[in-house]
Structure 1
Amino acid sequence: MKVPVELRAQGATLLLIWPDGAHQRLPVAALRAACLCGHCRGARLRGQDPAASISPDLALIGIAPMGYGVQLVFSDGHDRGIYPWNWLENFAPSARKTTTLTTLPGTATSCAEPSSTPH
């Protein structure tokens, strides 16, 4: 498992510096939109968009390494998700505003888009 040698908030991004010297900058809003916690995953499965209410001035106010990943605390009060190192290393924020499904690398998923009709 690769673990960053440095990890810090830098403006609207999370900066990770990997052991090979590679720098990775991940947008805070994209990380929040892709939150891996049960609450956010459940909302996405129900066709809701947790990213819809993300403020443009969202910031990281806490970073707590947890062994296999990191817990991020966002300025909107959300602090439930733990982001595994492998997931962060492979995370590529999409150009789309919404994230329909986020998974750990190597897990099976459905690629179906949420229904636009009410349930």
Structure 2
Amino acid sequence: MQPTEVALIEDDTILAVTWDDGETSRLDAVTLRQASRAASEIRRQAEGVELILPPAFRMQSVEPIGNYALRLFFSDGHDRGIYPWVYLRELAGHAA
């Protein structure tokens, strides 16, 4: 499963991924930020620290990581999470 197109839409609040099977996933910035697998985020969650995001929260940019994932840059400065294609598909609620 590979994407054929990746785009930030709706004022950079939605990541749209079109897959090679024709499905399109739409993932919002808040969901993606909360789902970050970065070590700092895993620790924050384990310690029960609430993630508080600013009102106009959005993604600033997207960077491909090889041919298996994306790195997302968020308006709160978080840029450590790697989002593999399979994980993005799972977050969107599509079967992998």
* TM bracket (short chain): 0.7 to 0.9
- 1:52-91 pair list within 5 angstroms: 53-67=52-66, 68-91=68-91
Q: Which runs of 4+ in 1 moved over 4 A?
A: none
Per-residue CA deviation, residues 14-54 of structure 1 (Å, 9 max, x unaligned), is 0000001111100111101111100000110111122xx11
Normalized per residue, the structure richer in strand is 2
Partners of 1:48 and 1:60 in 2: CA distance: 22
Does residue 1:37 correspond to 2:38, yes or no? Answer: yes
- Contact 2:16–2:27 (8 Å) recurs in 1: yes
TM-score (norm 1): 0.71
TM-score (norm 2): 0.86
Q: CA RMSD in A?
A: 1.6
Count of matched residue pairs: 91
Which segments of 5 or more consecutive residues in structure 1 lack a partner in the other structure? 94-104, 106-119
Structure with bigger gyration radius:
1
- Contact 1:16–1:23 (8 Å) recurs in 2: yes
